[in-house]
Structure 1
Amino acid sequence: MPATDLPPEIEAWFAGRGWRARRHQAEMLQASDAGLHALLVADTGAGKTLAGFLPTLAAFCPSRLDGAPAPEGLHTLYVSPLKALAHDVQRNLLTPVEEMGLGLRIETRSGDTPSDRKARQRARPPHVLLTTPESLSLLLSYPEAATLFAGLKRVVIDEIHAFATGKRGDLLALALSRLQALAPQLQRAGLSATVAVPEEYQGWLAPWGDIDSVALVQGEKGADPHVAILLPEGERIPWSGHAATWAIPQLYAQIKAHRTTLIFTNTRFLAEYIFEWLWDANDDNLPIGIHHGSLSKEARRKVEGAMARGELRALVCTASLDLGVDWGDIDLVVQMGAPKGSSRLLQRIGRANHRLDQPSKALLVPGNRFEFIEAMAAQEAVELGIRDGEDFRAGGLDVLAQHVMGCACAGPFREENLRAEVRSCLAYAWIDEAIFTRVLDFVATGGYALRSYDRFKRIVKDRDGTWRLAHPEHAARHRLNAGIIVDSEMLEVRFRNGRSLGKVEEMFGASLKPGDTFRFAGIDLEVESMKDLELVVRAARKSATIPSYTGLRLPITGTLSERVREMLADRAGWARFPDDVREWLEVQDYRSHLPVPGRLLVESFPHRGVEYTTYYTFEGWNANQSLGMLLTRRMEDRGLGPLGFVATDYTLAVWGLQAVEDPVDLLSPDILTHEFVDWVQQSHLLRRAFREVAVISGLVERQQPGKKKSGRQVTFSTDLIYDVLRKYEPDHLLIQAAWADARERMTDVGRVGDVLDRAATQIDHVHLDRISPLSVPVISMIGRENLPSGAADDDLLLEAESLASLAMRTDPVVEVEGD
């Protein structure tokens, strides 16, 4: 790329702050001046956001305008995964704009934006609009979209790794293809600190997958983070449990020793649970807050504002604050429990200091011994610069159907034009004429089995071949229901005066009656009544329950699980481990085998009159849960009398009346052709997947003008339609989409396949006379696995200690079978 001089206004602004423009910031401007799209991969604190906006700021500098008037209309779109990030970027971007006197108007737009402001933004847009994929898609559905975006020059996609591989990425990719058609001169910029394979993201970002049109800009290297692992003082690391409440006294001491501490948990339940424990330990009455996605926007904004002003000493949060939020006073990040992936950990660590030349400080708090090893593996991966990430997948047909409907809301379209536009993004390059025609037919009629129902007829084809809305009211209904995130059924939690605290799952709310108490948003609440979709509460003196939320668990990544196995196999490296962890592995090595990369360890042993088999897959909870369902079905067919199973990220334990003599037979690959199909069809999985794709595609509406359906009503509607389609149109578009979700997302069938591949040729089957040390954590969970993480930790610890006393005896063991 040719060198580009920074405009003097920007040079002066940097100099006035004692800064210099970093190389990667200048290269982003060079790429823009060369007419290229760009992907910036740079460490947290490297000024990525400013780098992405530098071409926009330059376009409004008087020295570049050379006497011409500043551009009018919408110039730049900024798309972020989180509402909080958009508001944070607005605050930080206003400073250079105001200090340089550029006169840029910058606004945010999300689901929380008032409707009058949204209408004004369409009529008189700001120069820079900060938004989310869902809000952008809705904005494109208005008739004025063509005029609004005609002059758009730039789209900046922050934290691109958080979009590209999921359905939100599908929606954003389709929105980008639409924007490029409306504004052919549009330049795209993607920003990330944790991309593992940049070339894949260049292809995703590029129109028509033309990777040469996307410049790859690598950021200047920052200071290495300081990552430590917290260990119990004078005690052993627990055998089991996930909440790590043993660490609360030490964690509170760390909070007192630092300016501001950000404490990450992996679930909303754990955020509330850890917050409760910290508050009980808060003898100094320090200002400690809580933040997660189920809290009301008012509660989240209040906490975000307090953090920005430096008023909190600690904040307990979830992934709601994973990405990009820049609060300069944070000097310590804590990860409670397992990190699950090096990229996610690195992203969270980057919230501390947020400066390239100063090391971020992080503390990992493992809940058990496996989590300690996982924490060490993640710590070393961060030190070595190893990243992990999700694989790319084909775009979802349900998302495509929603996009087609949104395009129809904006105005009539020609099939061939929209198909070409859709195919220009990599996620949907696989769509051919036949598949696209099926999508159009679904949006127009609901499909063959539903075409006799008028409510499914949303678009019609005119004689000249143009598609348009069947009735104008469909546009309003689409905008009420469009979106990708399909939460579980939720109930609003509010006080009698109308003040909202947020939402809990309908299933949890339905279990409560007046007088029951629970803790939410850090407050002890008593139920007064449940009316419609609202849970009316008042302050209570004592809490009894913390809501837990369903949904898929975040599994350990393949990259990190491989490192865990390498550490287990590296006996020389055990010297780094605490004495109790080293002893645990040494006795396991003496009595059995250790899991090693490339091989599958299976152990069989009797315990309390039942025969157990443990499979050390390290493929994550979702994959192990799926494998457990399949194995118990096959064991039933073989007459082995399965009684149950329990899964963790690392291990699957199955127990039954008869011993498993040949795990290779149980793990044969054909289990994924026969048993898998039967299981998914007969289980709730396909129905659940169908519910989500039916809502995303617009077939079933969650909201209607003036009212909202309950989760039970939505489920009832989708179940009825599902039964009709299974019977009369089993190859329906949405059945196909539901199967794709069930295979790829809900069951992690690809990782199950990896286990079967190893089992076919590289399996170590060990017969033991009793429970092994490595199996204690998973066996101790039996009977407690359905409780929220943390709720049963005391019972888990007692059971684990009892099992450990048996497992750690070093009597000789029986035989080993290998391939």
Structure 2
Amino acid sequence: MGADPGHRPIPSRITDWFSGRGWQVHPHQQAMVDRADQPATLLIAPTGGGKTMAGFLPTLAELAEGGHDGLHTLYISPLKALAADIKRNLRTPVDEIGLPIRIEDRTGDTSATVRKRQRADPPHILLTTPESLALLTSYEDAARTFAGVQRVVVDEIHALAESKRGDQLMLALARLQTLAPGLRRVGLSATVEDPAAIARLLARHPDPCAILQADPGPAPDIAMLRTDERPPWAGGGAAYAIRAVLDQVKQHRTTLIFHNTRAQAEIFFHNLWLANEDSLPIGIHHGSLDRVQRERVEAAMVRGDLRAIVCTGSLDLGIDWGDVDLVIQIGAPKNVKRLVQRIGRANHRYNAPSKALLVPANRFEVVECVAALEAVRDNDLDGEPRGPGPLDVLCQQILIAACSGPFDADALFAEVRTAGAYATLSRAAFDDCLDFCATGGYALRAYDQWQRLKQRPDGLWQLRDPRSAQRIRMNIGTIQDSETLKVRLRRNRGGKPLGEIEEGFAASLSPGDTFLIGGQIVRYEGLRETVVEVSRDAHRKPKIAVFSGTKFATSTQLSNRILDMFAQGAWPQLPGHTAEWLALQREVSRLPERGRLLIESFPHDGREHICIYGFAGRNAQQTLGLLLTKRLEETGLAPMGFVSTDYATLIWGLDAVIDPAPLFDIDALRDGLDRWLAGNAVMKRTFRASATIAGLIDRNVMGPRKTGRQMTMSSDILYDTLLKYDPDHLTMRITRTEALRGLVDFGRIEEMIARTSGIDLLRLKRVTPLAAPLFLEHGRVPVAGSAEDRLLAEETEALMSAAGLDGALS
């Protein structure tokens, strides 16, 4: 490829290598070389479009000229496996071109010896994760390690932008920029709904960030899988589609079958294997499986040995998994951006359309899947704004800075504000975090364990005890381990590891109980310390392990598309059975619509029911159920329970609701939320996560690892103490913010009420078609209160009357 006069030339031996393979440098790859000197560049390119090569090409071009000693480029990935995959793929051109470039990776799996050597003698290109980078910046020799670094490449930046890992990474990059002022930043992604927002996150504030959009390539070949059997009214397993999915597997080389939760993946894999009469090689991959088993599945995928892999978000990101030619999404995708990311796993080649099929798990998900298909065709991606940088991550960053040596508070504050999410951080908030790191805060000042920093006479801050640096480093990171226990086959000295299950699930098991893990049915034998011991038991029906995984809520954008679909006169795009279902709903009641809150009221099975169609997402609808039943109890309407889905909350009790409007007063709901949260397990769970990130609680200590139950006990004591003596403590404020945004999702309730111009209460004679699936939903929440007393009194009266003792009651 000849050099264009307007282009920066790429060394001929690199272009010769492209030509030798029958390739050309793509326009966006050349554009990245042309922009190599920009302080920050965000590249949005389709999967299979040479995005990673585009990110590294300026590095290869610069290093091909020679003359650079030490670390030149850092590559940051959300996944350890992705770093290993990039290392393998990058070695090929470097070796074949004959470039004198050292490439190494550094993750939690890297040996201590190699990690120590990498600090003293770093490679030209280091592939790592946000956590390992934060750890590297914590050492006293960080300035020497990073002195010559020129570029940082952040892959799959959209995935990091959605979590605290992204906040931690950007604080680490702010520190790197201080150590290496000429550092240039590159972000890579295939799916970005708001490029400007990601650009602001990537760039050093207030520096600009160039946005480069590559040719998106052909539109994906995506459709809903049509089956002879109708989807059920409720449920998430899609067992009805097993045969149809297996037929698709037979017609393709390699199929990825995505699920939204680990439990659903295990159940589907089990059912798929039972139906697999041809013994096709099929694997399973999710985050609770043992690492060795995951790596074995990954290696088999790369070799092309597997026809299908049942998986979760563990395979969402950009690893090149060989010859995948079909992606199947089981269950509604909940989020268009995630769906596009998963679709991109198929046909990982430039200018080849990705092929994907959606399989709705139930009747309502048919509607959601059609809405998602239309959004993909319109390239209408969804996303929620992240808000300001979280303070627990900032506290951790202050401790990391102290580990690397004495620091000036003014300089650190200025550095932190160059990270986009912290650009509006106030000095008062920063000083709160600094005081917390130094003393533990007002209520904890008397305890030596939280006296971690001190100010020297020259004004600089440093660790009070240098030995505490090791403890701080052991607890770097924002990923919160769920309370899990290792599962091993029973042997004299500990058998083969299979993976992990939640402590709560393990506590519910009795010897002889069976459950699924890694596609195997195993029998629970007992608990030895923190290990669940099992034996194989292939002939029994399993008690399903309920891996928590991630329970996604339907995005606001997707919910609005569903409501817009309801407003149509007819639904030719829907299967006949689903269109008939919606038409019947419109006939006997009405369909929910934008700007109005539909509430149905009807008797059923001797109880009064109301169904609130809020379309606010599962977490928010669950919170709404909790708050509304409390308000109904306060007004004497005797609620008995509720159940929620992404689109509705169904409440049942003894009395009908006459006027629902007062129930939705936002101030009253907020007051009710405050009272409910004060002593609630949700707050304690959120507190444990935030307090661990902030450094108040150690996740890891020298010696045996704490179990989740031990951590819960110590964090619960701390929470109760602070609630009583220092309710305005920094970690308590962080906890409230996190709870409202995360598990409780109160913001979606506020948004729902804000967009509601009126409430439509329909008093009906019976259950409606749209409400019927909620009666089949799992997760029904009972409400203890006045209904129990009334029912008990009525039952007592009936018994006494039947015994002829009516007078005894008066």
Of 19, 23, 46, the residue aligned with 1:19 is: 23
How do residues 373-772 of structure 1 correspond to structure 2 at under 5 angstroms? 373-495=367-489, 496=491, 497-543=494-540, 544-550=542-548, 553-572=551-570, 574-759=571-756, 761-772=757-768
- Report the counterpart of residue 286 of structure 1 in structure 2: 280
Describe the SS at the equivalent of 1:195.
coil
Whether 1:780 and 2:776 are equivalent positions in the alignment is yes
Is the 8 Å Cα contact of residues 630 and 671 (structure 1) preserved in structure 2?
no
Is the 8 Å Cα contact of residues 263 and 335 (structure 1) preserved in structure 2?
yes
Describe the SS at the equivalent of 1:577.
coil
- Report the counterpart of residue 224 of structure 2 in structure 1: 229
Within 2, Cα distance between the matches of 1:274 and 1:227? 22
Within 1, Cα distance between the matches of 2:333 and 2:513? 34
Is the 8 Å Cα contact of residues 73 and 126 (structure 1) preserved in structure 2?
yes
* 1:554, distance to aligned residue in structure 2 (A): 0.7
* 1:785, distance to aligned residue in structure 2 (A): 7.8
- Report the counterpart of residue 30 of structure 1 in structure 2: 34
Within 2, Cα distance between the matches of 1:89 and 1:208? 29
**Partner amino acid, structure 2, of 1:24:** H
- Report the counterpart of residue 140 of structure 2 in structure 1: 143
> 1:586-622 CA deviation, whole Å, 9 max, x = no partner?
1111111111222221111111111111111111101
TM-score normalised according to structure 1 size = 0.92
Is the 8 Å Cα contact of residues 600 and 616 (structure 1) preserved in structure 2?
yes
Of 362, 366, 373, the residue aligned with 2:360 is: 366
> 1:426-453 CA deviation, whole Å, 9 max, x = no partner?
2112222222121111111111111111
Within 2, Cα distance between the matches of 1:782 and 1:266? 16
Within 1, Cα distance between the matches of 2:496 and 2:114? 23
**Partner amino acid, structure 2, of 1:774:** L
Is the 8 Å Cα contact of residues 73 and 124 (structure 2) preserved in structure 1?
yes
**Partner amino acid, structure 2, of 1:439:** C
Within 2, Cα distance between the matches of 1:534 and 1:242? 30
**Partner amino acid, structure 1, of 2:62:** A
* 1:629, distance to aligned residue in structure 2 (A): 0.9
Q: What are the ranges of 5 or more consecutive residues in structure 1 without an aligned counterpart?
A: 787-819
> 1:429-483 CA deviation, whole Å, 9 max, x = no partner?
2222222121111111111111111111122211111111122221111122221
* Cα RMSD, aligned residues only: 1.7
Describe the SS at the equivalent of 2:376.
helix
- Report the counterpart of residue 790 of structure 1 in structure 2: none
- Between 214-223 and 124-133, the greater mean CA deviation after superposition: 124-133
Within 2, Cα distance between the matches of 1:672 and 1:149? 51
* 1:630, distance to aligned residue in structure 2 (A): 0.9
Within 2, Cα distance between the matches of 1:89 and 1:706? 35
Is the 8 Å Cα contact of residues 31 and 37 (structure 1) preserved in structure 2?
no
**Partner amino acid, structure 1, of 2:227:** P
- Report the counterpart of residue 201 of structure 2 in structure 1: 204
**Partner amino acid, structure 2, of 1:91:** R
Of 341, 346, 353, the residue aligned with 1:352 is: 346
- Report the counterpart of residue 217 of structure 1 in structure 2: 212
* 1:165, distance to aligned residue in structure 2 (A): 3.2
Describe the SS at the equivalent of 1:413.
coil
Within 2, Cα distance between the matches of 1:750 and 1:451? 34
**Partner amino acid, structure 2, of 1:555:** A
Of 334, 337, 341, the residue aligned with 1:343 is: 337
* 1:74, distance to aligned residue in structure 2 (A): 1.2
Within 1, Cα distance between the matches of 2:74 and 2:767? 58
Of 4, 8, 14, the residue aligned with 1:4 is: 8
Describe the SS at the equivalent of 1:704.
coil
Cα distance change, pair 181–199 in 1 and its aligned pair in 2 (3 A):
same
Is the 8 Å Cα contact of residues 49 and 191 (structure 1) preserved in structure 2?
yes
Is the 8 Å Cα contact of residues 7 and 58 (structure 1) preserved in structure 2?
yes
Whether 1:256 and 2:259 are equivalent positions in the alignment is no
Within 1, Cα distance between the matches of 2:597 and 2:124? 57
Within 2, Cα distance between the matches of 1:774 and 1:575? 19
Of 174, 191, 194, the residue aligned with 1:194 is: 191
Within 2, Cα distance between the matches of 1:375 and 1:22? 34
- Report the counterpart of residue 817 of structure 1 in structure 2: none
Whether 1:246 and 2:240 are equivalent positions in the alignment is yes
Is the 8 Å Cα contact of residues 122 and 144 (structure 1) preserved in structure 2?
yes
Is the 8 Å Cα contact of residues 165 and 393 (structure 1) preserved in structure 2?
no
Describe the SS at the equivalent of 1:763.
strand
**Partner amino acid, structure 1, of 2:690:** V
Within 2, Cα distance between the matches of 1:707 and 1:467? 32
**Partner amino acid, structure 2, of 1:545:** K
Within 1, Cα distance between the matches of 2:474 and 2:90? 31
* 1:571, distance to aligned residue in structure 2 (A): 2.1
Whether 1:181 and 2:184 are equivalent positions in the alignment is no
Describe the SS at the equivalent of 1:209.
coil
* 1:232, distance to aligned residue in structure 2 (A): 2.4
Whether 1:109 and 2:103 are equivalent positions in the alignment is no
Describe the SS at the equivalent of 1:142.
coil
**Partner amino acid, structure 2, of 1:365:** V
- Report the counterpart of residue 794 of structure 1 in structure 2: none
* 1:530, distance to aligned residue in structure 2 (A): 1.2
> 1:643-666 CA deviation, whole Å, 9 max, x = no partner?
111110111111121111222211
- Report the counterpart of residue 41 of structure 1 in structure 2: 44
**Partner amino acid, structure 2, of 1:216:** I
Is the 8 Å Cα contact of residues 332 and 360 (structure 2) preserved in structure 1?
yes
* 1:500, distance to aligned residue in structure 2 (A): 2.0
> 1:139-195 CA deviation, whole Å, 9 max, x = no partner?
111112111111111111111111113211111111110111111110111111111
Is the 8 Å Cα contact of residues 231 and 237 (structure 1) preserved in structure 2?
no
**Partner amino acid, structure 2, of 1:146:** A
Cα distance change, pair 121–783 in 1 and its aligned pair in 2 (3 A):
closer
Describe the SS at the equivalent of 2:10.
coil
Within 2, Cα distance between the matches of 1:2 and 1:474? 55
Is the 8 Å Cα contact of residues 84 and 321 (structure 1) preserved in structure 2?
no
Within 1, Cα distance between the matches of 2:549 and 2:374? 30
* 1:90, distance to aligned residue in structure 2 (A): 1.5
> 1:543-571 CA deviation, whole Å, 9 max, x = no partner?
52221133662101111111111112112
Whether 1:165 and 2:162 are equivalent positions in the alignment is yes
Within 1, Cα distance between the matches of 2:626 and 2:594? 25
Within 1, Cα distance between the matches of 2:111 and 2:367? 48
> 1:252-299 CA deviation, whole Å, 9 max, x = no partner?
111111100001000111111111111111112111111111112211
Within 2, Cα distance between the matches of 1:164 and 1:236? 39
Within 2, Cα distance between the matches of 1:137 and 1:709? 23
- Report the counterpart of residue 803 of structure 1 in structure 2: none
Within 2, Cα distance between the matches of 1:425 and 1:598? 37
